[in-house]
Amino acid sequence: MKEIDYTLQRKEMVDWQIKGRGIHTTDILEVFMQIPRHIFVPEELRYQSYEDCPLPIGFDQTISQPYIVAYMTEALKPDKNKRVLEIGTGSGYQAAILSCLCKEVFSIEINASLGEQTKKLLKETGYSNINLKTGDGYKGWKEFAPFDMIIVTCAPSAVPEALLEQLAERGKMIIPIGSSYNQRLYLIEKINGQNKQTAMLHVRFVPMIHKN
Ligand code: SAH
């Protein structure tokens, strides 16, 4: 089957949805232009992959809206010396974006089947600085802590204690907090051992689930 060229749709996504809403960091815009978002979306929905909305990826989960991925990425101020922990691998799109902007990505997915599927995709596409595991994000990933950045892409009702512990001094965490219908993103910065919390956008992520 002939591959469809989505370059134009991708450029429109970057120009209108991301740049047009105030994300101006050049490296970030470039990475959104480079990464083929459609490969992270099920084949039958690929024609919608550059639209201004989240999309279903199977397993009752979603890939986030492009702008939200960009907004959370920019809030972390990533750079090539930093290591990032992601909670909620999902499609792997956010992990792929971060992998081009950071030194190393560690990402945890609670759904084993989705985790396996994404692992395969990321391996095939050659993102070599992404480490994935199936597990419970509430526990973080202690062996590789502390992390310079933590990004949570599912919503707990309060900041998980283990994640605060695994955040490095001067580190930044971006996390949606709240119930299913009413969440807000918070930026947490650890400064002299204290957590400074800043309220940001209102959002709607899938809940961060507890494993029984
Ligand atoms: N970052 C993803 C979007 C994730 S959707 C992307 O770029 O596509 C949220 C994901 O969080 C889902 O895949 C869900 O299974 C996962 N999740 C929910 N609770 C979790 C938990 N406690 N630990 C790890 N992952 C969790």
**Domain 54-203 maps to which CATH number in 3.40.50.150, 1.10.730.10, 3.30.1490.20, 2.60.40.650?**
3.40.50.150
pLDDT in tens, the chain (212 residues): 568 899 999 999 999 999 999 999 999 999 999 999 999 999 999 999 999 999 999 999 999 999 999 999 999 999 999 999 999 999 999 999 999 999 999 999 999 999 999 999 999 998 989 999 999 999 999 999 999 999 999 999 999 999 999 999 999 999 999 998 789 999 999 999 999 999 999 999 999 998 76
The CA distances from residue 126 to 75, 120, 123, 159, 202, in Å, are 26, 10, 5, 33, 34
Alpha carbon 196 to its chain centroid, in Å, reads 21
Expressed in angstroms and rounded, the spacing between residue 6 Cα and the centre of ligand 1 is: 26
The SS3 call for residue 40 is helix
Question: Contact, 14 vs 25, CB < 8 A?
Answer: no
Q: Which residue from 128, 134, 82, 147 is spatially nearest to 108, judged by alpha carbons?
A: 134
The residue whose CB lies within 8 Å of the most ligand 1 atoms, and thus the one to mutate among 61, 183, 203, is 61
Spatial distance between the Cα atoms of 61 and 111, rounded to a whole number of angstroms: 10
pLDDT number for residue 2: 66
Question: What is the helix (H) or strand (E) element at residue 80, kind and residue range?
Answer: none
C-alpha span between 17 and 195 (Å, rounded): 31
Residue 180 pLDDT: 81
User: What is the reported pTM?
Assistant: 0.97
pLDDT at res. 67: 98
Ordered by start, the domain boundaries in the chain are 54-203
Helices (H) and strands (E) in the chain, counts: 6, 9
123, 126, 125, 89: which is closest to 106 by C-alpha? 89
| pLDDT score at 17 | 98
Active site residue 64: yes
Q: Is 62 in the pocket of ligand 1 (CB under 6 A)?
A: yes
- Separation of 156 CA from ligand 1 center, angstroms? 11
Number of the ligand 1 atom closest to the C-alpha atom of 95: 7
